[in-house]
Structure formats: C-alpha cells, structure tokens
Structure 1
Amino acid sequence: MHLDPRLSFLSGPSVMAQLMRDKDWSDSAVGPPQEWPQALRSVVNLLLGSAFPMFVAWGPQLAQLYNDAYLEIMGAKHPGGLGRPLLENWAEIRQDVGPLAEQAMQGHSRYLENLPLRMRRGRGEGEEDTWFTFSYSPVQDESGAVAGMFCACIETTRTVLAERDLRARSEWLQTLFDQAPGFAAVLRGPEHVFAQVNEAYRNLVGGRDLIGRSVADALPEVVNQGFVGWLDAVYRTGEPFIGRAVPAVISRSTGEPPYEAFIDFMYQPLRDAAGRVDGIFVQGHDVTEQHRSREALRQADRQKDEFLATLAHELRNPLAPIRSATYLLRSPAAPAEARNRATEILARQVDHMARLLDDLMDISRITQRRLVLKRERLTVAAAVESALEAGRPLLEAKRHRLQTNVVDPDACLDADPLRLTQVLSNLLNNASKYTDPGGRIAVDARQSGDSIVFTVSDTGIGLSESAIRTMFTMFAQEQTALERSEGGLGIGLALAKGLVELHGGRISASSEGPGLGSRFVVELPAAPAPVAATAASPAAASAAARPRTVLLADDNSDAAEALAELLRLEGHVVHTAAHGLQAAEMAVALRPDVIVLDIGMPGLNGYEVAQRIRAQAWGAKPLLVAATGWGQEGDRQKATAAGFDRHLTKPFDPQRLVDLVGES
C-alpha cells in the first residue's frame, strides 16, 4: 500500500505510528495528520522513534499524542485517549499536572522527580498511588510561538516503594539496634572509626560524640587497656574475639573521676562483597552489678569458711583449760589451792563459751528481726559505768590508760541496758585487743541535740579504708587485726551495728590510717529523765528469802545435778527427774513451787509436761521455767503457748535460775 508523502513522519512499524495513520481524526481538535504543522510533525516523529515513555500535548486543548512506551502508563485509557485533551485523560490528577502544563505553555520548563500521583488507569474502579519522574517542556511552532508541550517521563513507583520498604526496614533495624538491651557499635576501617552506635553504648561512655571518630580518639583511656589491640587483631585475622567480665576503666565526662565497669563483649568482623574485613561489629553488656554480686558472694563464702574455722578454733580453745581443770578436780592429790584455780578456770571458760553462743544467737535474731529489746530509762552515767565494768578486766590486764569524759551524766535514753552494755563493752574490748599494752583508750559520752553520743577511741593499730567499708558486715576482720587477734568470731561489730539500729541509732568508725588509732561513734535517741525507782517492800524481801520446793527435769543428769546443788546451797528443796513422764508423775506427787523443764526429753517433751501440769486444778500455781538450747523467738512463743512462765536459753547463767526461784 502506497503511503501518503504527507504522512512520512508516521512511517515505521510502531503500534502508535500505525494507529495514528489509521485513526479517524475528524472529532479531534488537532485535525488529520496530513494537516499537522511541521513543528508537531517533528516532535511526533521524535517520540515515535524513542523507547522512552513520551507524549506531546498540542494546541489550546492540549490534545495528547504518545508513543508505544507510554502505553503501559495509559493502561485502559488507550486507545480512546489518543488525541483527547491531556487534562481529560488525567482528570483525577488535574490539580497536580494542570499547573505544570500551564507553566510549560507559558514557555517554562519543569523537571520533577518522584512526584506522587494518585491515578486511575482504568484497570479497575479504584485509584492507585504512583510516582513519576518527568519533565514538561514548551514546543514552539514555525512562528516561534508556544503551540504545545513535550513530556518525557518514567514511572518510578516500584523504585519508590522499594526504597520506602528498604528505608522502613533500615529504620526498623536501627530501632532494634538502638533498643537492644546491650551496647552495640559498628566500626569501619583499620582505625576503627565509629559508624553507628546505640543508646546503651553512648550511656556506657558518658554520652560522648563518637560518630566519625576512631576508638583511640573518642575513648583515649581504653587504648592501654587492651581493647584497641584486640580490635586490631580481629581486623587483621578476621577471627572474632569474646571477652567475659573484662574490667574497663572509663571516664564518663570531663572532670569526673574514672569508674571501673565490667563488660561481656564480642568483636565480630564485618566483610565487604569481596570477603575482606572492612569493619567490626561490637556487641556486649555491662555486667558490673552481676560481677560485683558474684564477687560479694565469693567474699561472703570466703568469710563463711574463715568464720567456721574461727568458730572451731574459739570453741576448742576453752575446751583445753576445761579439760585440764576437770583433770585437776578429779585428782585426789590436788591441793585446795589448785582446786580453787581449777574452779575459777571452769567458770571463766564456760562464761567465754556462753558469750560466743550468745553472740551467735543474737546475730541470728537480729538478722531475722526477732530480737526484742527490753527498753527502760537509764542515764548516760549508768550506761558508761556498766560498759566499763564489763570491759575493765581486759583493760587492766593490758595496763591501758583509760580516760572517761561523761559530759552529761544525767542525760537519759530509752534503751535495753543489757544490749547497750553489750554494744559499748564490745567497742571497749575491740579497742583493748588492738591497742598495745600501755596505750590510751578514751570513752566520751555527751548529749548533742536530740541524740546521746558515745565515742570510744584508742591509740591502736588503726583502720584501712577497706576495713572501714566492710567492718560492720558479718565475719569481717582486717588481716592486720587477725594477726593480733585475741579471740572472737568477727561478728562483734556486726552485732553492735544491729543492736544500735534496733535502738533507732547509728554507729560509725573512722581512722587516720593504719597505726594511727581508731574512733567509734554510737548515736542513740535521747529520752526524758528516768522516773525514780521505788524500794522493795520488806514483805517482798521476806518472800524472796523463803525456801522453795523445786523440781528439775533434764535427761542430762550432770546438768540437772549441778543446778540442783546450786539451788540446795540457797536453801531450797530440790528434786530431779530424768525424763518427761517421770517429771509429770513427780509434779503430781510433790506439787512444787517451781518446775524447771528441759524441752527435748524422751517420753514426754517439756511442752507436753507443761500442758499436763497446767491442765490440773493445782497446776496454775507453780512457776514453770523452760530450760532449753532452742532460743529463737518462735521457741519462746511455743513455750508461752504451752504454759511456761519463763524461758532460759542454755547455756544460761545459773544465777538467773537462782533469782527466778527466789522471786517465785
């Protein structure tokens, strides 16, 4: 078929060239192609020969002519859109492209990249989000006037959505990176330059600026701690490095002293596309608290072992003189003077063992918050005198110079006299133990505002800073003190602290250093002056002197007989029973004034015997005393529930029993 020479610009095999040749242009504002001006023919010929999406909009109505590559953009709007006005074809985006087309028709070119357009391509009822990069340029006719506009465009929807997805994924990964429970960083290059860090890493190093700086520049304090060397090795070898509880001395900010952290961390090499190491991923956790807790547990375990060894030593020590004294007392050839010394040795060593056990029981009660204070009003002078009386034997034995300064002797406090004496005498004994013979020990007591302040100072071995930090914990003894120790379990100061705090006070220690003495201060709340005590009536004194009938029940016959002899020396009538059933039967027959029962007896235990006695008509009268090795608060409560009036924890002072019997 012969082609009209006037349509030579539409020659070629393209779909749109064929369509333009065959189309009926009678209803189009642009007219038939044979009559198109040369400028339009030239631009149409250009776009038909291009594989890039293009269109031209011509004339006042912007009739749209496009090429094959633009067909995908037109979608179902093709072929009806060929020759129709541009803004009719794209009515749904008229507000977006209309002003741009108007500017082009006024002679201005525009270039837009990734312009979002919500288009309807006729592939369904709904609109779709699209993005395009395009340019609008004016097209002039032969006279030089703008007669149309030319557009070269490309749809970038897939690229934009892919970038958006990649960006979202990157942001998600960054969020995970930032919110990771541990610290993390990405280092690049052989200088280990920070490319990325999370918040935990910034917090670890005090919020310093890191990005773009090398480790050596940003964290100079870690250079000589091994970290940079490990990074160099990972970068050089490509082998990861793992550290466990590694100490790191870090400066959080300028002017602040460095602090020691402990970190678990991993250096993981990062490789480029060629497999070469080009960076290192740093990830880890600050395990300072866990490390310190583990160290504290190890220290506590060591202290426990030392304490058990010390306890065994302290319990064995009195056994040697007790055994020797017992041998002397058994020897018929021993003179009276030797027997008397043996008796004194027994009494002294038993008292020592009893104090050890009492300290252990008190620590247990304080730890479990079961120790009950028996408060009363007492003066500062009385408290000091009682403490000096308890501590004087050791002071005199070592010929210490004692200075006392009781500034406010009549000032009062509300305290347990026995426990306060225990605290102050403990401080005096410590001062005496660790001060050389002839040294000075001073006791100062005064009221300061609402507090009573007791101070015990000495010229002894002094204290190190580490000792001051730990000396009030269980089983803590400084090594220099251990080398000079004269006995003890290392729980005295912990016990003193617990007792002081039960009173609502506080205790502290200070020293100018080893060899320069020590100073302990106890502060307790002050109280109003005590009420004067009334003298005992003659009737009460007479009652105390009356002999009593006493029943002692204990499956340890030695213990029962020893107590019985003591009470008989006081003029009381004493009977003994070897087990619970015998005690119950003898109680019915004797109806004694006082019944002392061991708890752990065979047959019937002490609780059961007490319950049987209280269940009888005469059973309300006797004074029931529990004598047992079980001394916890719960044991006392069980004894009270069973009907006991008093509770004595073995080994108790026999005089306490003598006093109870005399007062019954």
Structure 2
Amino acid sequence: MTTINFEALFSASPNPYVLVDLSLTIIGMNDAYLRATMRQREELIGRNMFDAFPSDPDSPSHRQLRGSFDKVIREKSADYIPLIEYAIPLPDNQGFEERFWSATHTPLFNEAGEIAFILQHTVDVTELHRLRNLAKSTVLSSGPSALIETDMFRRAQAVQQANDVLNAEQQRLRGLFQQAPGFMAALSGPDHVFTMANTAYLQLIGRENIVGKPVREALPEVVEQGFIGLLDRVYHNGQPFVGRSIRILLEQGDEDVQDERFLDFVYQPIFDPNGHVSGIFVQGHDVTEQKRTEQALRESEERFRAIADSIDQMIWATQPDGFHDYYNQRWYEYTGVPDGSTDGEAWNGMFHPDDQERAWSVWRKCLETGAPYHIEYRLRHRSGAYRWVLGRAQPVRDEEGRIKRWFGTCTDIHDFKQAQDALRESRERALRTEEETSRLASVLAERVTELDAANEEIQRFAYIVSHDLRAPLVNIMGFTSELEGAQAEIERLYRNIRQSDPGLLSPEARAAIEADLPEAIGFIRSSTAKMDKLIGAILKLSREGRRVLAPEPISMAQMFDAQRRSVAHQLLERGTELVVEPVPDLTSDRLAIEQIFGNLIDNAIKYLHPSRSGRIVVRGRDLGSSVVYEVEDNGRGIDPKDFERIFDLFRRSGVQDQPGEGIGLAHVRALVRRLGGTISVSSRPEEGSIFTVALPSHISMSSEAA
C-alpha cells in the first residue's frame, strides 16, 4: 500500500488540502484546511468526509460533491468544482455557517498504477461570492474591478450550471446503466480495471466490490479461459470483438463449484480525445437457457432422425401449410437427389409427369380438410427409372386440434404393382398355368403381408418418436440424486435421535427410514438405469439400420463355423453342442447375415432347457431364386400366442430370467426384411423352437425397401 507523509508535504502550504482514500475516509489534512473548516485534526482523522461534514443527501451540494469524487474514481482523472455551497458546522455545536468553495479533486496512484487516494484542494470563496452579490445591488457594481469580479462569477456560474446539467444527465445515464436488462461493465487501462459494472453484470459473476480491481484479480477463473487475451487484443488493435454463445465457467462461492454459462457479448474499445484506446466497454446477454429449449431441441431432433433413418421406409414431414422441410436418409438414398433439393414444393417434380397433377390435387385437398393422405404414384428412382410408390401421411395436432405437422411415408410397391400387372395379363391372355397363377397370388399375398407389417412398424416407431424418450428419464435421475442426498441427511438425523432419545421414533418411522425409503430409491435407480440402457440399445439399432448394404458372395458353411468358434466357451459352459448341417451359399450383405444368425444362435444358447443337455442344429436348402435356413434348438420353447410379439421391440416371451432388452429379434426381422426376406418361428413349450429365415439367393435393387 502506498503511504504518504501528508503533513510533511502540505503543512507549509497556505492553501487548504485534505487527503481521503477511495472509501472517502479522511487520512490527513494540513493546518490551512483546519483553519478554513474551524475543526481540530482529531475530529476529522478516520471519519468519512460526509460524516465529518454532514449534509442532506438529496441537496444539490451533497450530490455535486459526491459526483465529483465518483467521477475521479471512475475516470482516474482530476475533477474541478468551480463553485459549491457547503455549510460547515461551527465549534461547540453552535450551528452551521454558510460557506462557498471552489474545489479540485486529484487522484493519487500507487506503484501498480491504481488509485490509492484523492487529494482535495479547496479555496474558500465565500467573501468573494458575497462581494459579488453586494456589487449587484449597490454602487459598487460599477468600475473595472467589479466588472472583472462579476464576469469571473458569471463564468463560474456558467461552468457550474453546465456541470449541474452534465451531472444530472450522468446520474440519469448511470440509472439506465444499472437497470439495463443486459450485463454491462467498463474497463480502464491496459490492466482492464473495472470502473463500472451494472447489477446484471454483478449477478452474472456472483460477486460484489469489483470496481477498482483488474479483471485478472476480480475474475481469476477467466484467465485460463482466454478472456484476458481477447481483452488485450481489443485494447491493442482497437477493433471490437463480438462473441456468440461463448462458453464461460464462473466460480460460485465455493472455488470447487463452477457455473457453466453461455454469453452473447461485445468488447467495444473506448477511445480518448487523442484516438488512443483508453478502456473497453463490455455489453452482452446471458443466453444459457436459450442455449440449453436449443440443445434439448437438437437432441430431440437427433433422436428422431436416428430412428427415422433406421426405418426401411422413406420418411418425410411438412409444416402445417404443406411445406416440405424434412426427409430421412432413405429418401435421398432412394432418389439419389442432393440434400435439401426437394424441400418446399420441389417434391412434386420427383413424380412421373402423368402423376404430378393428381398427386398435387390429392395433397391440397388433405391440407384443406385434414384428412389422411393416401395415394399411389410413380417416383423417380436414383437409377433414372420411375418406380411405383405408396404415399401415406397423417396430421399431428395440438391440444386444441390444430395441425402442427404432417408426417408421411413412401413405400416402394413397384414389385407389387408389377405382380398385379402380371396377374392381370395372365388372366387376360389365359396363357399361364394354374400353378403359375397360384405362385403369383402367393407372391402378392406375401408382399401385402410385408407391407402391412412394415406399416405397423412405422406406427410403433411414430409412437416412440412422439414421446420424448430421454427428457423425463433425465429429470427422474436428477430427482433421484436429490432424494439420495436427502436420504443421507434423514439417516444422519435418525441416528442422532436414536442415540439421544429413541422414544421419539415410532415403529412406522423406523420402518420407513431403515427399509421403505432405501428400497424405493433403489427401485427408482434400477428402473431408470434399465430405461437408459433400452434407449441406448434403440440408438444403436438405428445407427446399424442406416448402413448401406454391400452384397458379396458368402460361404455360409464358413460363416457358421466362425460363429461356432465365437460361442465355443458358452457352449462348453452350458454343455451344449452346435451342429451345422449342409447349407447353401448366397450373395448378400455379410454383416447383416452375420448379425441375423449370430442373434438367433445366441438366443438358442440363452434359452436352453435347464433339465437337459442343449442341442442346436443349423440346416438349409436351396430353392433356386431363394434359400431357406433353419436354426433349431431343444430349449424351453415359445408359446404360440407369442410367435409374433417376440419380433416386436421390447417384447419378450416366457420367464424373464435372462438379461436382455427385447430388441434382438426385432433387429433380426428388420435386417431380414431389408435383405428382401422373411423370418418365422414354430415351437412347442418345453420341447424347443425352429426359426426359419428365407432370403433371396442374390440380393437385388428391387429387394431393397425404400
């Protein structure tokens, strides 16, 4: 701290001087000041200036003097008061004497360049002021001397009036500054010393008393975050810096606790009259909450996109007026057009020219009435050919029944339409045999079944998408953590009471604290963990569903042999044999084939019968254009009523004594369908099960669902 031998410096001066610190506490004064104020040194030392010389806080003189001191602290430069009326108390409590003063306030700096004290130089101009008033009303008002004095006071009053106006405006601006909704602060000098900070700024940083401190000292945690470097750059190059959603970590009370905030702000350089940067003005807004209706929305959209992209159908969505603004990845894979090129009304240009007017007419009527959209049209495939597609859409409404969005699907039915045409031609020409007609009818029936099943799966996914999967779970986990914290406090209080006065505890309270509460919290925690695991599994499933298929020749005997080696440890541990009989090869996507049969074999091992040695047999046969594989086991078996539900997401059959989320067989069926095949099961409880997978011998474009 800088020390000053005040008496040694100013004791000989005939002019009154007083020295105060930044809190306006009187540190010292010379004899001339004591004579002018008619006070003793011990009466003033250590007292606040406004306590030693009291005045009405709302009086012009009080505000004028307070404003001058504040200006010196804020701007770090001297301030001059040409004329101020300020009464001083007379000795022995004899009242107050009216006095008029002229004062200069000069800042004194320490070795670090910080303001340490303020030196007040005062001149008592009471007599001169009275003389001037007397001159205005008597003959003394004539003559050169009176004119000079009158002119001097006129100038002094003009300066004082201007200062009064400026001070009033300054107070108004400081009020606006303090009440501004955004955070603001002013920094001075190369060390970026705080000279002002409004209420919003202090609330943001969670601390007070920063005026007069450099940023490095007031906010030490921002140094390593790069903000000092930004301030230095603005100060030296004179160019403002604008930040958008900038992340900052601020200490809140406990130094180990940091609050993450996101800010929009500007560092604006302040220039002195010579054009040099003298400081920096900081202004901005806390956008943390907005960054978070945005992060939550982004995560929700990502979940929707992940699920939508994992579905074999093309998914699209529009605004209430029908403006198309979303397509899933399958749409772009199927059509081969660039992302975003079919937004708005451009989707209609993807249809066959003969179908465009009809499709637009049906869609416009649905928009007007809110009726579900259902149409068949020819859509341009990435190969350049037009393929028949089934288009469907449903409106999503709010609580008041207003349409918020339209969600639709496109399903490739080209093979189905071709089969219909072929059947029609066969009937018209009567050239096909009854066997061929039966086969076509069977193909049609299978395709219809597949389409219905696919549409049902879309509805299930739409239901999942319509609910926020993770937000409620996160809230439950958070509140569970709070309950666990409260449980610890309750148990601590419980132990204290049990030790001090056990009679206060009823049996019901003991049971609630010792058993019921831990059991309830444990149940909530295990349930949320299971739900989180399920959501993770769905996301994994969606990622795998977006993969582009890569057909290649596959030796199925080698593939099954590799899978047998991968589960050898499980087979040995469970006393089970895996027999692979002759199987036909095929051309398909290797990873999908491995996942299909890997899941089936794993399930067979998992659900073996506990009372007998396990036996799993894999066999297959070649049907020409297709191949059929069977995975048979002698395990627990499946109830016939569960044959379909075991292929649904999250649905399982029988006793739930094995780990799993009910996703594996749903994933298997989705992969089989994507490869253009089917899967079914036959089983008898307590005897075993046979899973039958039928696949094309060679995967083709037409088998890839859109």
TM-score scaled by length of structure 1:
0.35
TM-score, normalised to structure 2, is: 0.34
Higher-Rg member (1/2):
1
